[in-house]
Chain A
Amino acid sequence: MEKHKQENFHCEDFLSDFDFWTVDVADKLARDSDISGGLTESHWKVIMYVRDHFMKYEKGPAVVKVVKDCGISFKELCDLFPCGLVRGAYKVAGLPRPQGCI
């Protein structure tokens, strides 16, 4: 993991290569994103949804999609990913850093 850090990460956070993502990588990313206590089933539901969306549309889903399609409230999403949708869920799901004012 550590030795791949340089080439696969944009600096210290987002994964630069979507295909480099594995469950272990997700665990590591989760620790970087203030998720204590490991990834639960609820986390995985969001993570897999985000990954699926990215594979289809080459961009992360809007927060309204995540909340509606995963059947959670925004508050629950924030509790699961304290760093928010982008720095939390997108990041753990192995998405590259999105562009724009982010």
Chain B
Amino acid sequence: MSTTTNGRSYKAQKVIDRMGQKLTRQMVGSLAACVHCGQCTDSCHYVLSNPGDPTFAPAYKADRIRKLFKKHYDWTGKVFPKWVKAGTVQTDEDLEELKDIVFGKCTNCRRCTINCPMGVDLATFNRMARGLLCHVGIMPEGVEYVAKEQWEIGNQMGVLKEDYIETIEWQEEELQDEMEDPNARIPVDKVNSEIVYVINPREIKHDPRSVLDAAKIFYMAGADYTMPSEGWDMTNFGLFNGDDELGGAVAGRVYDKVEELNGKKLVISECGHGYRSTRCEGPNWAKKDIAFDSESSVITMLKYIKEGKIKVDKTKNPGSYTFHDSCNNARSCGLTEEPRELLSLVVDDFREMYPNRAENYCCTGGGGAMSMAEYRPSRLKSAKVKADQLSATGTKTVVTSCHNCVDGLTDLIGHYKLGMDVTQLVNLVANALVVDEKIEENRKIHSAETSATAAQ
């Protein structure tokens, strides 16, 4: 380990120096204001699932970062450093320890933030700390891998452009078959469209059903939309690894493409962190004011139903459903009412989960935790409170508007053997679509065309 003249490792020195550049007044307020009242303790799913272990307490975790602030940036902390628990990082091992806390013991879900009487926003400076570590190359391997894919290939799963296009063409064929309309399209790079629809690479790489479902909804609504050939990944690991540069680059790619295509509105598929990154944080990271509108596909789908552009039949979705609010959607973007309204329109038996909306518990896979294999056992153990919350609803299916939550919940449902299914609103809306008349109509047109061709 190379060290600086003061005996501190270069990396540790860099983390300390960079902290001064990354601190904002909001963060300084959060770092200075904590009174260690302990009110946040019970708000954290890690605490609730690991009784007796105070190292999971939000204030305890926050203090691992706060001590650096007090020692190096808060002059009152310099008067009696030990008295206010000011401290430093000296070695690379110290940084590894910090990594295990900021990445491994917190999903940045912000539940403690809304439960802090002083208004301390731990999640925000926890993300800042992640960024400091990431800057000196210290982060979970999986996070590093995904960030690299986003930098280099432009999407978090390294999906090649040809695979993306081929998948859309494939789904277009499926759409044509299902709707019995050879003219049905999933347009790519169509300029001047009302809607530019961006998705999570997972939908291309692993399970394209949601692409088809969305296409069906757009088709039935007669929407003027397109999917972009570049900048189509609305997810953003910059939110997770705390790297504003990555965040700005990934979101910037999406914005640039929308502008290039002269799209009127950006519609973001159901993904909590993607929505937050692309809709809310992206302009801050990219330092760019966005001229076009953007919204969650949940809002788009709800509008289609309310405006009568699509018809749905809720009897097509039998069974009981509950709704899980994604942290990023609910606690950071206020997207809580529209998904409920939409869900109530497409299923008959919707039962609320408690606590809900902005007070909901994290799916326990948030903040990039799904990509951190090393913390997986602890993550699943810490999902106990979420498992209890899910099973208390007595429902068969949990609906969520977040791909990451789908996977986080699927993992814990398997681990705790809850026997529940996880689905998203796009699947339920597509399934509830009233399509028979349209197909009948297409069939008539098609047979008329065929007989006209035969007559010639």
A interface residues, Cβ below 8 angstroms from B: 10-12, 59, 62-65, 67-68, 74, 84-87, 97-102
Contact = CB atoms under 8 A, between A and B. Distances in A.
B78 interface: no
A100 B163 contact: no
Contacts of A68: 166, 170
A102 B202 contact: yes
26 contacts: A11-B376, A11-B377, A63-B208, A64-B204, A64-B208, A65-B163, A68-B166, A74-B174, A74-B208, A74-B209, A86-B206, A87-B410, A97-B373, A99-B146, A99-B149, A99-B157, A100-B149, A100-B202, A100-B370, A101-B156, A101-B235, A101-B370, A101-B404, A102-B370, A102-B371, A102-B407
B202 A101 contact: yes
B208 A101 contact: no
B376 A67 contact: no
B306 to A, nearest CB: 30
A100 B157 contact: yes
B167 interface: yes
Given A10-B373, A11-B376, A64 B146 contact: no
Interface of B is mostly: helix
Interface in B12-33: none
Contacts of B158: 59
A101 B204 contact: no
Contact of A62 (B159, B209, B273, B380): B159
Given A68-B166, A87-B410, A101-B370, 17 more contacts: A10-B376, A11-B380, A62-B159, A62-B204, A62-B205, A62-B206, A63-B206, A63-B208, A65-B163, A84-B206, A98-B157, A99-B157, A100-B146, A100-B157, A100-B201, A101-B200, A101-B404
B202 A64 contact: no
B283 interface: no
B187 interface: no
A66 B158 CA distance: 16
A10 B235 CA distance: 25
Counting chain B residues whose Cβ lies within 8 A of the other chain, the interface size class is 35 or more
B308 to A, nearest CB: 31
Contacts, number: 72
Interface of B: 142, 145-146, 149, 156-160, 163, 166-167, 170, 174, 200-202, 204-209, 235, 271, 273, 370-371, 373, 376-377, 380, 403-404, 407, 410, 415
Contacts of A12: 415
B403 A101 contact: yes
B421 to A, nearest CB: 12
Nearest to B140: A99
A85 B202 CA distance: 11
A64 B166 contact: yes
A76 to B, nearest CB: 13
Contact of A64 (B145, B167, B273, B377): B167
A59 B156 CA distance: 13
A41 to B, nearest CB: 24
A80 B151 CA distance: 35
Contacts of A101: 156, 200, 202, 235, 271, 273, 370-371, 403-404, 407
Nearest to B156: A100
**A12, A67, A74, A100: residue with the most chain B Cβ atoms closer than 10 Å:** A100
A12 B417 CA distance: 13
Question: When A and B form their complex, which 3 residue pairs have the shortest distance between CB atoms, in order from nearest?
Answer: A64-B167, A62-B163, A99-B142
